[in-house]
Amino acid sequence: MKSLASYLILLYSVAAYSQAATGLIQTSNLVLRLGSDGFLKDSANSPAIVNKNGLTLLQNATVWMSATDSAGNKRIAVQNVLNGVGEFWSGPMSLINEQAANSMQWNKLYPLSKGNINDHKQNYKNQSYVPSLAISNWPGSLGFPYAQVIAPFVDLENNDMLYEPMKGDYPYIESDAILFSISNDVANTHKVSNGLPLGIELHTSVMSFQDSILKNCFMVRYAVFNRSPRTYKNFRFSPVLNFKIGTLENEYMGTEIPAQAIYSINDTSEATFSKKLVSLGCMALNKHIASTMYFENNADPINGLPYSAEHFMNLMQGKWKNGKTLNYGSNGVDGTGYARYVYPDTTDFTHSNMRWIDQVPGKKIGLLNFDSMELKSGQATYYDVVFFSVDENFSSFKQIGQYCLKIKQALNTKNLLKIDRNSRTKEPILTWFPNPVKIGDKLNLQTLLESPHYIRLVDLNGVEICKLNLDDNGKSIILPPDLNAGVYIVEYKTLNIVHVQKLILTH
C-alpha cells in the first residue's frame, strides 16, 4: 500500500501574473489538478482530471457566481473554461474597502496529509523539532486587515485564534489529504463577463481519501465569503464542467436527478474504451440544485458560447443565454414544454421530466446550478460537491446513480454530509460554562454566532468519549450521567476553525 504522503504531489507554475500556480492531488485511481485561483485547471499537456492510466476524464472545471445588488447592477465572477481566462485571482480580501492581497505573493497552493499532521502532533514538543513546510506554511491565521482565521486549524492550547504550530496548533482536515487555495474576484478587471465584481473571497478545498469506495472521486468544498458591504438577495453559484473523456469530444451528457448530479459519458464506439461505459460527473452534497444546463462551443445565438453578464446569469438560472427556456427533447432548444434538467436519465414525475433519447454526442459544457440564496455582507456559506468517475464494462446508466449513493454512504460514515448554515466571517472565542461542571448537568455555550458542525468530548489522550448535540435552542448540551470525573476536552468545529476547551467534570 502506498504511504499517505504519496497521495499528494505539488507542482508550481508562477511564470507570470496571469498564470495561476497549480498543484496535483490524487487517490489510488485518479489525479486532479487545482489552480491557486480555485479552479480545476488544465495545463498545456495535462487535463484537470485523469485516471491512473493517464486517460483524460475532465478537461477543466470552474465555478460561476452571480447576484444583483440593491441598485439593480449585475455582479458576476466567471471563467472561460475554453481559454482559461477568469475573474478570480490568488489571495484573500481585506475586510475593508474591498481590496485584494498581492496576487503574486499568494500565487501558491497548500498541500497537506494526515501523515503531516500526525507527525507534527507527536513531535512538536521535542526541542529539536522543525515542522514540515506543509505545517508551517498552512495559512491558518492572518490578522487585520484580513480575516483572523483563513484556513481551518485546531487552536490547541491558547484558544486565541492565532495559528502557532510550535505551540501545538495544527491544520484541521477531514480527509486523508487536501489541496487548498485562496482566491478573490476583485484583484483585477472582469474581462470575461464585463460585469461588476461581487467582492467574494473563495476558499477551495479538494479532499482525497484512501477509502476503497472513494478511490474514484474527490470531494471539493467551496467556501464563499462575502467581503463586500452589500447584501445579495439572489446569490447564485454554479460549478461548470468542460467535459472531455478520452481523445475525442464525443460525449453524451446526462442528469442523475435523484443524486443531484450532472455527468458525461463516452461514446462507446471510441476504440480507446474497449466498449466500456466511462463517465465523469459532479454531484451536489449539501445544498439543493435548481437546474442543470449546458452550452456548446460555437456562436449559436441560443445554445452557443456566452459572452455577456446577462448570458452567464441566464445560464445559471437554467435558461439559454438569450433567456429562452430549456425544453424537452432534441437539444433542449427546439423541443417542447419546460424542463429543469438537461438529458435526465430517469423520469421525474414530480417535475414532469422525461428522458431524452434523441441526443447526439458532441462538445457540451455543463452547469450544475444551485438554488439562489441570500448572502449577507460579512457572511459566508459553502458548497460541497463530488467529482466522480464510473468505469464499467456494461452500458447501464444505473451504475452512475448507484455509485453516487455509495459515495454518499461512505462520506456519511466520515461525518461529511452536513446541512449548511450561513455563518459570519468574524468568529468570537467561544466558551462553555460553568467550568467545572457536574456530571449530568447542563453545559452552556456563551457566544454562538454560528452553529457547530459537531461537538465531541475527548480525554487528554485524544480518545473520543462521546459526541454531543445542542438542545433545541442551540445553546446548551446535557452531559451524560455515566461519565467519570476528570479533565476533558470539548472539541467543536465551525465553518473555519476547530475550537477546543479544557473542561473539568465533577460529581
| pLDDT range class, residue 474, cuts 50, 70, 90 | low
Q: Has residue 66 been placed in a domain?
A: yes
Share of the chain above pLDDT 70, in %: 84
Domain that residue 490 falls in: 428-506
Residue 21 has pLDDT above 50, yes or no: yes
Q: Has residue 136 been placed in a domain?
A: yes
CATH number reported for the structural domain that contains residue 481 in this entry: 2.60.40.1930
Averaged pLDDT, 323-334 = 85
Residue 365 confidence (pLDDT)? 95
Question: 18: Cβ–Cβ under 8 A, 6 or more apart, which residues?
Answer: none
Of 373, 392, 423, which one is at a domain's C-terminal end? 423
- pTM here is 0.81
Q: What span, in angstroms and rounded, lies between the C-alpha atoms of 179 and 466?
A: 30
Averaged pLDDT, 197-221 = 96
Q: Are residues 451 and 395 in the same domain?
A: no
Cell of 442: 447542563
3-state DSSP helix/strand/coil % of the chain, to nearest 5: 10, 35, 50
Residue 203 has pLDDT above 90, yes or no: yes
Query: Is residue 218 within a helix (H) or strand (E), and if so which, with residue range?
Result: strand 217-226
Q: Has residue 126 been placed in a domain?
A: no
Q: Has residue 153 been placed in a domain?
A: yes
Q: Are residues 347 and 418 in the same domain?
A: yes
Averaged pLDDT, 67-89 = 94
Of 80-84, 366-370, 391-395, which has the strongest mean pLDDT?
366-370
Collapsed DSSP state (helix, strand, coil) of residue 124: coil
Q: Are residues 112 and 260 in the same domain?
A: yes
| pLDDT range class, residue 13, cuts 50, 70, 90 | very low
Q: Has residue 493 been placed in a domain?
A: yes
Q: Report the greatest alpha carbon distance in the chain.
A: 75
| pLDDT range class, residue 7, cuts 50, 70, 90 | very low
As a whole number of Å, the CA-based R_g of the chain is 23
Cell of 246: 478520452
How confident is the model over 369-420, as pLDDT tens digits?
999 999 999 999 999 999 999 987 666 667 888 899 999 999 999 988 875 5
Residue 453 confidence (pLDDT)? 60
| pLDDT range class, residue 115, cuts 50, 70, 90 | very high
Q: Are residues 202 and 329 in the same domain?
A: yes
Q: Has residue 335 been placed in a domain?
A: yes
Residue 497 confidence (pLDDT)? 59
Q: Are residues 476 and 358 in the same domain?
A: no
Residue 486 has pLDDT above 90, yes or no: no
Identify the CA nearest to 425 among candidates 38, 77, 96. 96
User: Which comes out higher in pLDDT, residue 349 or 455?
Assistant: 455
How confident is the model over 351-363, as pLDDT tens digits?
334 455 556 777 8
Averaged pLDDT, 188-207 = 96
Residue 428 confidence (pLDDT)? 41
Question: Strands 8-9 and 364-370, how do they pair?
Answer: unpaired
Q: Are residues 183 and 290 in the same domain?
A: yes
Least confident of 213-227, 247-261, 296-310: 247-261
**Phi, psi (rounded to 5 degrees) for 442:** -85, 135
In the DSSP assignment, the letter for residue 141 is B
Averaged pLDDT, 122-128 = 94
| pLDDT range class, residue 240, cuts 50, 70, 90 | very high
Least confident of 211-215, 280-284, 502-506: 502-506
Cell of 186: 476583485
Q: Are residues 339 and 322 in the same domain?
A: yes
User: Which comes out higher in pLDDT, residue 216 or 7?
Assistant: 216
Q: Are residues 402 and 455 in the same domain?
A: no
User: Which comes out higher in pLDDT, residue 165 or 360?
Assistant: 165
Averaged pLDDT, 73-89 = 93
Averaged pLDDT, 479-502 = 76
Q: Has residue 330 been placed in a domain?
A: yes
Residue 349 confidence (pLDDT)? 44
Q: How many domains does the chain have?
A: 2
Q: Are residues 364 and 413 in the same domain?
A: yes
Residue 120 has pLDDT above 90, yes or no: yes
Residue 143 confidence (pLDDT)? 85
Of 374, 394, 423, which one is at a domain's C-terminal end? 423
Residue 17 has pLDDT above 80, yes or no: no
Of 423, 439, 457, which one is at a domain's C-terminal end? 423
Q: Are residues 418 and 434 in the same domain?
A: no
Q: What span, in angstroms and rounded, lies between the C-alpha atoms of 65 and 190?
A: 13
Q: Are residues 454 and 354 in the same domain?
A: no
CA angle, 378 as apex, 377 and 380 as ends, to 5°?
105
Q: What span, in angstroms and rounded, lies between the C-alpha atoms of 47 and 250?
A: 16
User: Which comes out higher in pLDDT, residue 435 or 314?
Assistant: 314
Residue 426 has pLDDT above 50, yes or no: no
Averaged pLDDT, 168-175 = 93
Q: Are residues 432 and 411 in the same domain?
A: no
Residue 10 confidence (pLDDT)? 44
Residue 476 confidence (pLDDT)? 76
Share of the chain above pLDDT 90, in %: 55
Residue 255 has pLDDT above 80, yes or no: yes
How confident is the model over 437-471, as pLDDT tens digits?
888 787 777 654 455 666 788 887 778 888 777 66
Residue 4 confidence (pLDDT)? 36
Residue 425 has pLDDT above 90, yes or no: no
| pLDDT range class, residue 168, cuts 50, 70, 90 | very high
Averaged pLDDT, 261-280 = 79
**Phi, psi (rounded to 5 degrees) for 124:** -65, -20
Residue 288 confidence (pLDDT)? 93
**Phi, psi (rounded to 5 degrees) for 464:** -70, 130
Averaged pLDDT, 182-196 = 96
Whole-angstrom CA distances from 120 to 91, 191, 293 are: 26, 44, 45
Residue 394 confidence (pLDDT)? 62
* Contact present, 29 and 217 (Cβ < 8 Å): no
Average pLDDT over the chain reads 85
